[in-house]
Each structure stands twice: as structure tokens, then as C-alpha cells.
Structure 1
Amino acid sequence: MTALEKYERIEATGLWRVSSEEQRRDVIVSIGDASLTITDTQDKPLAHWSLPAVRRLNPGEFPAIYAPDGDLDETLELSSEETEMVEAIEKLRRAINRRRPRPGRLRFVSIGLSSLALVGLAVFWLPEALRSHAISVVPESKRQEIGDQLLQQTQRLTGPPCADVIASPSLTALATRLDVPNLVIVRAGVHTARALPGGTVLLNRAIVEDYEDPEVAAGYIIAEKVHAKTNDPLRQLLDSSSILTSFRLLTTGGIPTDTLKDFAEEIVVDPSASPAIEDILAGFEKYQVRTSPYAYAVDPSGESTLELIEADPFVTSPNPVLSDGQWVALQSICGG
């Protein structure tokens, strides 16, 4: 029995917050697949941390405070009553670190340099060339197929897409208005909006339910479309996996399920980077949507989004995103 198998059924309760500005909330923590899964008390996934990247911020103290490497604002607290989980995390982290390869010495400098040159060619040039070629030849229909498969994998973490007979026409109208082939409202997981290969856009239900102005939701969709234009979701998928994924896509037209599963977890955990201001403005102008509602949704103070507010291309919307009735109907799509 491996260390992971020994602890994979352990569960514990803890306190989690996504950032220092958010309140802590009660969560359930479990171990599996060399990762920590954090869910709320209704078993809805909130976060997924890779064990090798988990850091303990206060070694030897309780409550034990953990954070994912690179994001110390997001924290998980485990009380002294959850010592079994704390010990399991520490043992698994040590076991994983011991298995990491350690560099040896180069005995012959000249041979070593030649070897490094060959390895560099294989490691850096060949994978990039193969990925770029795969991206350039994959047809749009195949991108949509990959996007549909990825959507199925994300549902393990986001839950099933929201659907409602009354709200469905409004969802279609919003997707048509913003030229989105498939707009999907999800219950949890995705921070705001996330584009998949083939043009599907996932939108968190909070973006629809928490704002009175449909231009906020439109803004998040436009910003994600702009991001996807300069950061191809298919390239992101291939970059996150080994060169074998690109090779298999070229030779068989498919992507392994495990690769899709891993990337689906990245989509849920990692928000998209913000595009350049000039690109965002061009996108909003193209779709005739004001930037101010989106800017104030991102930062209610307006300080960090001042450029978007001051450069708003429209004083009033020349082409409403949705009618009031359509927006009210859409806000009930998740039943809330």
C-alpha cells in the first residue's frame, strides 16, 4: 500500500478562504490523486490543490495554516482536532519530495555541454514546433469536439450547467449578442468566465445573479473572449501537457481523458489573466458595450480599473445587451 492509498479516504473539516479580503468558510478537506480537494458542506468543489505545491505557513503550530505555492492569500486552516489530516498532508508532502529527481555531477564538461545542446533542442524546440503545428492544422470542428469533452470534465468540479425553460431564450440571446457559440452558466468552480477550445464560454452564476446590469456579464464574457484570442485555449491545453499529447492529437485526432481531466482542474482553480487595456477596449467597442459596469464589478472602488472607466467608448449603450425582461429571466437560470 502506498502512502497515498493509505490516506486517500481521510476527510477533515477546516476553514478556507479564497483571498485575504474574503471571510473564512467551513469546508470539507479530502486527499486523493496527490492533491487536496476542498468542498463546501454541500459537497460542491471550491478548490483543488496539488500536494507538492502546498505550503504550511506556520510549521509546528495550530491551527495549521496551509496555502498553495504562489498564492499565499488563499488559505486553509486545520484545527488541532484534525491532527490525522495534518499528519497525512505532511507525510505525503515529504514522500513526494523524496521522489523528486536530484541533479548529479557532470564528469566531462565537453560531453556535458554537447549533451545539453542536444537535450535543449529536443526539450525546447521540438515540443514547441509540434504544438504549434498541431494548433495550426486542427479544424474548428475538432476544437469544438475537444471543448465539449473538456466541458464534461469540468462538471465534476462545477456541477451540471444551469438550465431553465424560461431563462433559456435569454441565454441564447446573450450568446448571440456577443457571438459566443456556446454560453454555459455554471454553479461553482470557475472564478468569473473561462473560454474553452471551440468557443464555449463558462460563466459563473454569481456574475448573472449578483448584478442588476447585464453589461457586467457581457463585460466578463468580452474580456474572456479577448483573452482567448491572444491566449488560444487549445494552446493552453497542449502547453499544460506533455509532447505526447500534441503527437497524439496530430496522429489520432484525440486527447487523452486524463489530460482533459487535469486541464479541467486548472480551469477551475486558475483564473484567466487580464488582457491588455487596449485589447479590452477594442473588444467592448466591437460589441458596443460600455466598459464602466464591468470595471466597477472588477473593482468597486474603480482605482485599479480607472483606465477602463475613463476610456469608456460609450456614455450609454447604443445596442442594449438584453431587455429588462430577458435579464430578469436569465437571473433565475440556476434556480436562485
Structure 2
Amino acid sequence: MTALKKYQRLECGGLWRETPQDQRREVLVRFGDATLVLSDPKSGTAISHWSLPAIERINKGEEPPVFAPGTDASESLELTDPDMIAALGAVRHAVQAAASRPGRLRGVLLGGATLAVLAVAVIWLPGALVRHTASVVPPAQRADLGQRALDDLARVTGANCQNRLGLQALARLSERVFGPLDTPILYVMPEGVEQPLHLPGDVIVLPRRMIEQANGPEAVAGAALVERLRARAEDPIIPMLQYAGLRATLQLLTTADLPDEAIAGYGEALLRSPPLALPDAHVLAAFEAAQIPATPYALAIDPQGTTTSGLLANDPYKGLAPSPLIPDDSWIALQGICGN
């Protein structure tokens, strides 16, 4: 959530419970771009990633504050640092302001020129209306739309896999691929997802099949990396608004509200959408920068190598033994993320 720049790199200690029955555990809490990262204060190993817009205070009126990554989550985090508490309060305020105040988006971001663009777009250029609306949606509302799209997807696939050790391994892999300050939210759904997907708010959904069938984490890391590239090549709000339709898009632009019925079924439609093609050179440059071999990913999405021949032939780490992305025990845990 880049709107809250002043809180980036903010860190503090906290007390974390995985479930209400567990003992509290000291953790290092780091405020990232779109996530709250919880890690072991001794080893620095990521324990959990929380989506900033989803975080709720669950003991209003009591002290010290206790937070959770959603109203139905089992995890909780007790904080006493006033700066971190203020940061989470600012996030919540931003989400509520973007999602529930009629006219807020228009009043803050739009002027007379926007109304002129709107008039032309409604009459002549529906595509321009969609693109313009996408360009003015603030980060807090993007994250909220991403969570709503994920909830709609879960109606088809089931709720995301939540094995504790698997989630910790997924968080560790995400930090290895993207770094600690620019980490997307990664999810694995139990069924129905055959290819990586991305949603607004820097959300990436990975196929369970790819994780369970791979010989190592390189293919999964590559899938997340390429899907992040797709999300940045085309604004993920655009296909969502195209699905919602012109009337719903206009409502989002003028009232900052996108009706639930307008995006009902979007998750299922997304499962049927072909992935955006990317230039091999662009993909290979990203693999090289992240120090991840491209071959495991290329073979995972096309075992015959027909459509990925360019990646296979020009893999910057071809023939080299790559350094482990995550420890073996973390990879084993990640393969069991959809287990009990």
C-alpha cells in the first residue's frame, strides 16, 4: 500500500499466537509495502505474512491492542509500539475511506477534466472509461478489491490452504524471490487452479499441483515471479472492471463503490482466462535478477518445451547448480501446505 510511505521500514516487537490455544511468542513485526511481515527475532526467518488491508483489531476498547489478519483468522498479534499501532490504524482508515465513503474517490482524485473524459468515455470509448477508472483507484481500495476477488474465487476452489508450516515456508520463499520490502501476498488454493493467477492488491495465487509435483522450489518461485511480471504489465483491475461492466465501472468511479453482484463469478471467469504472454527477454531478465533458474519453471508449465523453448535455450543459470532458494525442510513443508 504505497499510499502509506511514511510507515515503510517500520519495525517493532510483538507477541504472536498461531491459535488461541498456543502460548504467545515473541516476533519481529515489519511494516512492508502491502504486507505485515512477522519473523523470528533470532533467525530472521519469516513466520507469517498478513495482508495490510485485511488486518482487524479484535479487542477494541481493551489494552494492549490485539490484531488479526481477518475476522475469522486464528492468528493474533499483540502490540505495544505506538508507531506500529498508529500505522495499522492508518491502514484501516484508508481502507474504510476508499471503500465506503460515497464520492470520496471522485472528490479527491477527480476534477473538471475527469468529467470531460467521463462524458466522452461513456458515449464513445467504454475501454477508455475502464482504463481511466483503474488509473485513479487508490492502493487501499485495490487491496480491498483483491480480497473480494479472492473470496469469490474461493467459492469455486475452496478456502486457501493454511497448513502452518506450509504458510511459513511460503512466506520464506516469497521473501527470497521478491525481497522483504516488496513482497506480494501468495496464496495456494486446494483445487481448481491449473495456472498461476494474479488479483488486484498484489495478490498471487499458485497452483497446488505445481507445488506438489515439482522436484524443488525453483518452479514455484518462477511461477510467482512471472505472475508478478504479468500483474505489472497489465493493471489487474482492468479485466475485473471489464467483467463487472460499464455501469458498475461508472459506479466505482463516481461513488467509490463496486457492487458485489458485479463481480460475482469473476473468480471462475479468471480460471478460464489465458495468461498474458510476455517477451522471453523480459522474463529471462527477471529470473537473472532474482538469481533463479528458468528451466524448472519452463518445464513445469510445458513439459515438452514447445512454448517455452526460448526460456530453456537462454536460461541464465543453465548447467549451473543453483543455490537452494529455501532449506529442504521448508520445501517439504510447502509441498504439504494443503494438508492438515
Q: TM-score range by the shorter chain?
A: 0.5 to 0.7
Cα distance in structure 1, aligned partners of 2:151 and 2:322: 37
- 1:208/1:217 contact within 8 Å kept: yes
SS in 1 for 2:125: helix
Alignment match, 2:168 = 169
Cα distance in structure 2, aligned partners of 1:284 and 1:212: 18
- 2:122/2:129 contact within 8 Å kept: no
Cα distance in structure 2, aligned partners of 1:302 and 1:161: 30
Cα distance in structure 2, aligned partners of 1:137 and 1:319: 41
1:180-214 alpha-carbon deviations (Å, 9 max, x no partner): 42100111122221000011111111111111111
Cα distance in structure 1, aligned partners of 2:137 and 2:157: 28
Alignment match, 2:257 = 254
Alignment match, 1:320 = 324
Which is higher, the Rg of structure 1 or of structure 2?
A: 1
Q: Give the drift of 1:173.
A: 0.8
SS in 2 for 1:240: helix
Aligned residue runs from structure 1 range 73-92, under 5 A: none
- 2:189/2:206 contact within 8 Å kept: yes
Alignment match, 2:207 = 204
The more displaced of 314-323 and 133-142 is 314-323
Cα distance in structure 2, aligned partners of 1:279 and 1:240: 28
The one-letter code of the counterpart of 2:153 is: T
The one-letter code of the counterpart of 2:336 is: S
SS in 2 for 1:202: strand
The more displaced of 197-206 and 302-311 is 302-311
Q: Give the drift of 1:153.
A: 0.7
Cα distance in structure 2, aligned partners of 1:245 and 1:283: 36
Q: 1:317 and 1:246, CA in 2 relative to 1: closer, same or farther beyond 3 A?
A: farther
1:102-134 alpha-carbon deviations (Å, 9 max, x no partner): xxxxxxxxxxxxxxxxxxx76674322322221
Residue among 328, 332, 335 paired with 1:331: 335
Q: Percent identity?
A: 34
- 2:149/2:267 contact within 8 Å kept: yes
Alignment match, 1:299 = 302
TM-score (norm 2): 0.59
1:293-315 alpha-carbon deviations (Å, 9 max, x no partner): 11111222323322101111124
SS in 1 for 2:244: coil
1:193-251 alpha-carbon deviations (Å, 9 max, x no partner): 10000111111111111111111111111121111111221011112232222211122
- 1:127/1:243 contact within 8 Å kept: yes
The one-letter code of the counterpart of 1:171 is: L
- 1:290/1:314 contact within 8 Å kept: yes
- 1:160/1:187 contact within 8 Å kept: yes
- 1:162/1:333 contact within 8 Å kept: yes
Aligned residue runs from structure 1 range 1-12, under 5 A: none
Alignment match, 1:178 = 177
Q: Does 1:137 align with 2:136?
A: yes
- 1:191/1:271 contact within 8 Å kept: no
- 2:194/2:209 contact within 8 Å kept: no
Cα distance in structure 1, aligned partners of 2:128 and 2:226: 29
Q: CA RMSD in A?
A: 2.0
Cα distance in structure 2, aligned partners of 1:231 and 1:124: 24
Q: Give the drift of 1:286.
A: 2.6
Q: Does 1:192 align with 2:191?
A: no
Cα distance in structure 2, aligned partners of 1:263 and 1:189: 14
Unaligned runs of 5+ in 1: 1-120
Q: Higher relative contact order at CA 8 Å, sep ≥6: structure 1 or structure 2?
A: 2
Q: Give the drift of 1:318.
A: 5.7
Q: Give the drift of 1:283.
A: 2.1
The one-letter code of the counterpart of 1:157 is: V
Aligned residue runs from structure 1 range 40-59, under 5 A: none
Cα distance in structure 2, aligned partners of 1:251 and 1:177: 40
Q: 1:268 and 1:301, CA in 2 relative to 1: closer, same or farther beyond 3 A?
A: closer
Alignment match, 1:237 = 240
1:66-108 alpha-carbon deviations (Å, 9 max, x no partner): xxxxxxxxxxxxxxxxxxxxxxxxxxxxxxxxxxxxxxxxxxx
Q: Does 1:224 align with 2:227?
A: yes
SS in 1 for 2:134: helix
Q: 1:263 and 1:314, CA in 2 relative to 1: closer, same or farther beyond 3 A?
A: same
Q: 1:266 and 1:329, CA in 2 relative to 1: closer, same or farther beyond 3 A?
A: same
Alignment match, 1:286 = 289
Q: 1:303 and 1:264, CA in 2 relative to 1: closer, same or farther beyond 3 A?
A: closer
Q: 1:159 and 1:299, CA in 2 relative to 1: closer, same or farther beyond 3 A?
A: same
Q: 1:140 and 1:332, CA in 2 relative to 1: closer, same or farther beyond 3 A?
A: same
The one-letter code of the counterpart of 1:305 is: T
The one-letter code of the counterpart of 2:332 is: V
The one-letter code of the counterpart of 1:281 is: L
The one-letter code of the counterpart of 1:270 is: S
The one-letter code of the counterpart of 1:195 is: H
Q: Give the drift of 1:163.
A: 0.7
Cα distance in structure 2, aligned partners of 1:240 and 1:165: 35
Cα distance in structure 1, aligned partners of 2:306 and 2:144: 41
The more displaced of 166-175 and 326-335 is 166-175
